[in-house]
Structure 1
Amino acid sequence: MSSGFDPLHPRELDLPMAVPLRADGALVDVTSGEAALTMDDGKIFAAPSDPAQLDDWRAQLVSWREGARARHGVPRRYDDPASAWAARCFTVAQVWLWDELFFDFDAQRFTPERFLADARERFGGLDGIVLWHAYPVIGIDDRNQWDFYDVPGLKQAAAALREMGVAVFVDYNPWDTGTRRAGDDATELAATVRRLGADGIFLDTLKKADPEMVAALDAARPGIGLEGESKLATERIADHTLSWAQWFADSEVPGVLRAHWFERRHMQHHIRRWHRDHSEELRSAWLNGVGMMVWEVVFGVWVGWNDRDSATLRRMLPVQRGLHAWLVEGEWTPLAVHEASVFGSTFTHDGSTLLLLANTSDADVTYRPEGVGWQPLHAGDTADLITVPARGIAAAMQVTGTEPAELDAVRTALAAETPARDASFPHRRTRRLAPQIPSRAQLAPADIRAGATVRTVIVPSGEHVLTVRHRARETGMYDGAPYVDEWKPLPPRLHDQRTLERVVRLANPVRVGVAEVSAAEYALFLDAIGEQAASRDPERPASGVTLARAREYAAWVGGRLPSEDEWQLAAVQPGFRRRVPEVWNWTESEHSDGRTRFVMLKGGSAHESTGSDWYVDGGVRGPEFALKFLLPGLGQDASPSIGFRVCWEETT
């Protein structure tokens, strides 16, 4: 990485590609040769700022496409009715399985209907959902990526999504090579597709899947949609019906997406995960006739959409869904409108022309379409005067002859959709949750409840200043996004070691167990509540215990879990020790911002998954190290790598 890299600006490889126009008075040959291969590698074909160059520019786009199809073949997968759904999948949400809109922690059940209701109200609905499952918790133990999809009720939740008309994507992590091995990835992924009834695969960190994997997935689900995380090679558009337009920078005058121009039925989803302003992505998606990735919880970090951009998407989707035939079958003229700050594409189909307009300025602009027969699609516009809101979009259709049957439904769907002006970021702050501890009829003997049989160290009351170390991950730490309005995070901004300072005030001294609760001690608790213990080893730490159960045990012995700060302060006291094998320790630090729950783990563990930086931190750690662990439900937080210890607060 060069010293001049600016994370707030796109990298060279993210920039739009200039289209060769004329050399020595003649158009450059872009059908074959070096110029054609260069264009094959583009993300967005940059548009000319000079309207006088538009005819040459459009001619070169057509020539490149003809040459590329001659070299790579015409994609036939899109003719298969089983694959057709992908071309209509305009909005996809990336959803952590344990997002508090998608999962009810109190009832311990999935709530896909609640998630979709929120999306309908704020965005105009979803066409697809990626069920995100493993990262960033994978690596905490030996469970592999397939194990994290083996969750009670998930199959039913996926079925409910499909019944509500939403395509289901599962996530594939090719970097998961250091956990439990089972079958080969293609076999395991195909089995997951069958079990969950998935429609598509998100190819995490990949641009494309190997042909052998494509064949295996096609056998599991004919018409399966494969969507990579970045720029898709032109030759692989043939067997990947979707792709992310992630961190694609556009030209000042909006350009043309290369993959979608090559094959109009190829769906792309614009996404810049750390950006708080999505107007440029929305504009490009609108003018190109493609979709958006709505990703508000990025691996446990809130990056919510502002009201203006949400309203823009609500104004886009009825047009894209209702007039889909124009976008994929119509004659597309990019930049049919090229004015100071208003740009537009036209799509002519079956005698009528759809005009899509976008405004790049910070003020509303009015536009007067040329010709007759124009019908505005958005409320408040007229045939003679269309208002394109600041950083927003508008649409009209020129009808010659019979009005398209689709228009009525589109206008009805848009009748209540008006632009929003508020582009401020909708902040969420985390709060520490009070522990919910079910009462138990059976109580420990009095001496155990008082902690008299447990050796402890004393953490004194008063103010303490702590140094906390952690690895920079996309999960962030206590609050806020680790990257704001940045393009792709790269080392050393990604995965490097960070330090923060915390101030904690303890009203009373706290006695913290010198060691984790042992398997034998935990077995006594299980006996008391009528459950069978797996082990009664007096030296090994009790592990495989959920946070809820750890809290129950602590209450049973008259104590509680120590906070992460109390744990760290205790760890530097003489006598504090770790049982073997070492395990992470639960702490009383459950937090929530209303969408994500997490807990700070302390101590590290003997287990360490190796082979990828995407795994959870492993190995035994010093007292100052903290791991932000996203909390799963349905008992999935129980891990052989996590145990706990108890503390008792001294009162005066």
Structure 2
Amino acid sequence: MSGGFDPLHPREIDLPTAVPLDGDLSEGEAAERLDDAKIFAAPDDPADIPRWRAQLAAWREGARRRYPAPTRYDDPASAWASRCFTVAQVWLWDELFFDFDTQRFTPERFLDDARERFGGLDGVVLWHAYPVIGIDDRNQWDYYRVPGLEEAAAALRDAGVAVFVDYNPWDTGTRRGGDDAAELAEVVVRLGADGVFLDTLKKAEPELVAALDAARPGIGLEGESKLATARIADHTLSWAQWFADSETPGVLRARWFERRHMQHHIRRWHRDHAGELRSAWLNGVGVMVWEVVFGAWVGWNRRDAATLGRMLPVQRLLHRWFVEGEWTPLSVLEGPVTASDFALDGVTLTVLANSGDADAVYVPSIDVGQASPSAREVPAPVRWIALHEPDAALTTDPPAVTVPAQGIAAVLRIEGDAPTPSELRDLVIALAGRPHVADSAFPHRRARRLLPAPREAGSADADEIARASAGALVVAPGEHVLTVRYRARETGMHEGAPYVDEWKPLPPRLHDQRTLERVAVLPAPVRVAVAEVTEAAFGRYLDAIGEAGASDHPRSERPVTGVTLARARDYAAWVGGRLPNEDEWQLAAEQPGFERRRPLVWNWTESEHSDGRTRFVMLKGGSDHRSEGSDWYFDGGAQHPTFAAKYLLPGLGIDASPSIGFRVCWDGER
């Protein structure tokens, strides 16, 4: 904790905004304060709810006069965004989305998993560059130039899933290409993207909006965190990130202003998403599913995944009620049970949420004051259906609705002369296989060290092997205690999320320098090459294996770079060795005689790990290259031997970098 800030509690700017119950909220200073709210807080006294609703309506009426009419929402090309209830962030090299064995994208596998656990996805953000960008001069656009990515994006869209690409406005310290707007528009067209996630931005500038509109009519622009009321007109989506709610769930300001605007609740480091799900359900908006946060596992528990699976069929099939119906927030407030009503065409959808730790039962009340039927005309009775109950069926009696602990439920009321919604049959079928799940245990994953596939060893001649191993440093067997230093990026270190349940990581905790101790046990001595493999030595290897174009490879004493991890392993096996792991590298580096060739480059190690979703390799040594201008870039510059960097492993050769070389080690003393 720094400066009195408690990372486990929301900051002042994240808190909900109280709604004055007196005075004119259609204009003036009080109205302008509400223009900047994240969430309108619910009133403390239930008796104030009618006045609170009236004040919200007054604010909205005034705000619509103050700000441009949201004509973008009237464009049929933009209508998809209001149906995009659940979006997943996916690292391109997530092992559900990419198969490292076959080196191909597997979007169908990713979608199947989401369909089983969450009820499917409406959109996917293809996250591509951060946190590896900056290791060399490649810019964010280079990381979207990946073989097979266009086909993967097409497969997502063919499955009815919107594709978002990511824009990093902070990427100013890598190689410069074209104008950002032109580069981004090219990516949108090439991948057939439906939307753009505006990383670190709340909104896009008008010039960027115009360029993207020209590239893809109906493009959805989604900023990170609070979107200004003035810009809701040209941004059909936004994140509700780190939005703290009142104890009784309140109303999302952007959604109240424009019902067709889609928001996605997200608290990326939380292991319990019940609060976000409640707010999304009661406000008729969506959520962001983000289980791998830049390489750190923050998977959803079974309860929350099941809750989302119970929400989505209602949101998708009764979409019109959420965007066109008359919205009555806080229509029910009975202890921990809260509800919103959405009424349309004589049918009222009541969505209920339970913030308590015990199941609750809600029984709708029959409206009083209705005229008694005359002898000549007896109206058809009101019909009800509790959508999430087992064997849900229409009834003329108000049903007893079970609202599970930390869960949701819904009930439809159909007036006597109103037709039954045509969507009801499909909705009941979709919900039948979606029971509530009480298990809220965090689904831990542990990263395990991966052993490389066996390679043909020792095929280089004796002179080549002798030259490669000359002067190698011997690391003694036994137990070694190592001090390891690293920068606490969002990737975490070997395993675990670095900011579990924190509200929002902020400097100095975010990206600060940290230290840990590791105990390394070496069962036998290891000889580590005194320096990195040179371009000349690697060229001889390419000649030996008959690599096409090998004669064009430089033959200098500079460290060879642009070599994938797999190819570095192949070379090491060729000279009868392997890559050193991170501990062996560090122990060798602490000995006299350990050398670094120039220019300095990071070194591959044999410390490749996977938790089943993310592969990463520990790099050692640092490099002369440093991308300047943003803390989001990968570490650069010369580093002390104790420093380690967690490098998320891309596939399809993208891991090869002009900033990464390698050295070899051999088991045994001789």
Give the TM-score band, short-chain normalised: over 0.9
Q: Residue 238 of structure 1: SS of its match in structure 2? A: helix
Rounded Cα–Cα distance in structure 2 between residues aligned with 1:498 and 1:19: 43
| Partners of 1:437 and 1:551 within 8 A in 2 | no
Name which of 56, 71, 74 aligns with 2:66: 71
Rounded Cα–Cα distance in structure 1 between residues aligned with 2:603 and 2:433: 52
Rounded Cα–Cα distance in structure 1 between residues aligned with 2:179 and 2:101: 37
Matched, 1:421 2:438: yes
Rounded Cα–Cα distance in structure 2 between residues aligned with 1:269 and 1:301: 21
> Matches of residues 132-281 of structure 1 in structure 2 within 5 Å?
132-281=127-276
Rounded Cα–Cα distance in structure 2 between residues aligned with 1:89 and 1:601: 39
Name which of 353, 362, 371 aligns with 1:358: 353
Measured against aligned partners, the alpha-carbon deviations of 1:383-434 in whole angstroms (never above 9, x if no partner) come to: 4200000000000100123101011111110011110010000000000000
Name which of 373, 377, 387 aligns with 2:383: 373
Equivalent residue letter for 1:571: A
Most deviating of 402-411 and 588-597:
402-411
Matched, 1:4 2:4: yes
Equivalent residue letter for 2:161: V
Matched, 1:390 2:405: yes
Measured against aligned partners, the alpha-carbon deviations of 1:365-395 in whole angstroms (never above 9, x if no partner) come to: 0000112422111133674200000000000
For residue 20 of structure 1, what is the aligned residue in structure 2? 20
Q: Residue 237 of structure 1: SS of its match in structure 2? A: helix
Matched, 1:459 2:454: no
Would the alpha carbon gap of residues 2 and 513 (structure 1) be closer, same or farther in structure 2, given more than 3 Å must change?
closer
Rounded Cα–Cα distance in structure 2 between residues aligned with 1:76 and 1:351: 28
Rounded Cα–Cα distance in structure 2 between residues aligned with 1:397 and 1:621: 63
Rounded Cα–Cα distance in structure 2 between residues aligned with 1:312 and 1:453: 59
- Misfit runs of 4+, over 6 Å: none
Matched, 1:568 2:583: no
Measured against aligned partners, the alpha-carbon deviations of 1:335-390 in whole angstroms (never above 9, x if no partner) come to: 11011111100000011100100001000000001124221111336742000000
Rounded Cα–Cα distance in structure 1 between residues aligned with 2:61 and 2:525: 77
Would the alpha carbon gap of residues 16 and 453 (structure 1) be closer, same or farther in structure 2, given more than 3 Å must change?
closer
Equivalent residue letter for 2:632: W
For residue 370 of structure 2, what is the aligned residue in structure 1? none
Q: Residue 284 of structure 1: SS of its match in structure 2? A: helix
Rounded Cα–Cα distance in structure 2 between residues aligned with 1:420 and 1:557: 55
Q: For residue 450 of structure 1, report the CA deviation from its aligned partner.
A: 5.7
Matched, 1:110 2:105: yes
Equivalent residue letter for 1:595: R
| Partners of 1:379 and 1:416 within 8 A in 2 | no
Q: Residue 598 of structure 1: SS of its match in structure 2? A: strand
For residue 25 of structure 1, what is the aligned residue in structure 2? none
Equivalent residue letter for 2:170: W
Matched, 1:503 2:523: no
| Partners of 2:91 and 2:292 within 8 A in 1 | yes
Rounded Cα–Cα distance in structure 1 between residues aligned with 2:399 and 2:186: 56
For residue 93 of structure 1, what is the aligned residue in structure 2? 88
- The alignment's TM-score, normalised by the length of structure 2, stands at 0.95
Name which of 521, 524, 539 aligns with 1:523: 539
Q: Residue 43 of structure 2: SS of its match in structure 1? A: coil
Q: For residue 436 of structure 1, report the CA deviation from its aligned partner.
A: 1.9
For residue 431 of structure 1, what is the aligned residue in structure 2? 448
Rounded Cα–Cα distance in structure 2 between residues aligned with 1:438 and 1:415: 51
Rounded Cα–Cα distance in structure 2 between residues aligned with 1:594 and 1:110: 15
Rounded Cα–Cα distance in structure 2 between residues aligned with 1:116 and 1:439: 38
Q: For residue 2 of structure 1, report the CA deviation from its aligned partner.
A: 6.1
Name which of 379, 397, 402 aligns with 2:419: 402
Matched, 1:300 2:295: yes
Q: Residue 215 of structure 1: SS of its match in structure 2? A: helix
For residue 599 of structure 1, what is the aligned residue in structure 2? 617
For residue 597 of structure 2, what is the aligned residue in structure 1? 579
Q: For residue 132 of structure 1, report the CA deviation from its aligned partner.
A: 0.1
Rounded Cα–Cα distance in structure 2 between residues aligned with 1:450 and 1:402: 86
Q: Residue 348 of structure 2: SS of its match in structure 1? A: strand
Q: For residue 463 of structure 1, report the CA deviation from its aligned partner.
A: 1.1
Would the alpha carbon gap of residues 451 and 421 (structure 1) be closer, same or farther in structure 2, given more than 3 Å must change?
farther
Task: Count residues in correspondence.
Answer: 646
User: Identity over the aligned pairs, expressed in percent?
Assistant: 73
For residue 122 of structure 2, what is the aligned residue in structure 1? 127
- The alignment's TM-score, normalised by the length of structure 1, stands at 0.98
For residue 81 of structure 1, what is the aligned residue in structure 2? 76
Rounded Cα–Cα distance in structure 1 between residues aligned with 2:6 and 2:78: 40
Q: Residue 581 of structure 1: SS of its match in structure 2? A: coil
| Partners of 1:301 and 1:476 within 8 A in 2 | yes
Rounded Cα–Cα distance in structure 1 between residues aligned with 2:586 and 2:68: 62
Rounded Cα–Cα distance in structure 2 between residues aligned with 1:270 and 1:115: 21
Q: Which runs of 5+ in 2 are unaligned?
A: 367-381
| Partners of 1:450 and 1:558 within 8 A in 2 | no
| Partners of 1:451 and 1:558 within 8 A in 2 | no
Rounded Cα–Cα distance in structure 2 between residues aligned with 1:453 and 1:29: 82
RMSD between superposed Cα atoms in Å:
1.3
Equivalent residue letter for 1:170: V
Q: Residue 52 of structure 2: SS of its match in structure 1? A: helix
Rounded Cα–Cα distance in structure 1 between residues aligned with 2:60 and 2:470: 75
For residue 462 of structure 2, what is the aligned residue in structure 1? 446
Rounded Cα–Cα distance in structure 2 between residues aligned with 1:235 and 1:111: 40
Q: For residue 456 of structure 1, report the CA deviation from its aligned partner.
A: 1.1
For residue 373 of structure 2, what is the aligned residue in structure 1? none
Name which of 339, 344, 351 aligns with 1:344: 339
Rounded Cα–Cα distance in structure 2 between residues aligned with 1:437 and 1:34: 71
For residue 54 of structure 2, what is the aligned residue in structure 1? 59
Q: Residue 208 of structure 1: SS of its match in structure 2? A: coil
Q: Residue 559 of structure 1: SS of its match in structure 2? A: coil
Rounded Cα–Cα distance in structure 1 between residues aligned with 2:545 and 2:121: 45
For residue 317 of structure 2, what is the aligned residue in structure 1? 322
Most deviating of 266-275 and 333-342:
333-342
Most deviating of 65-74 and 138-147:
65-74
| Partners of 2:469 and 2:529 within 8 A in 1 | no
Rounded Cα–Cα distance in structure 1 between residues aligned with 2:206 and 2:176: 22
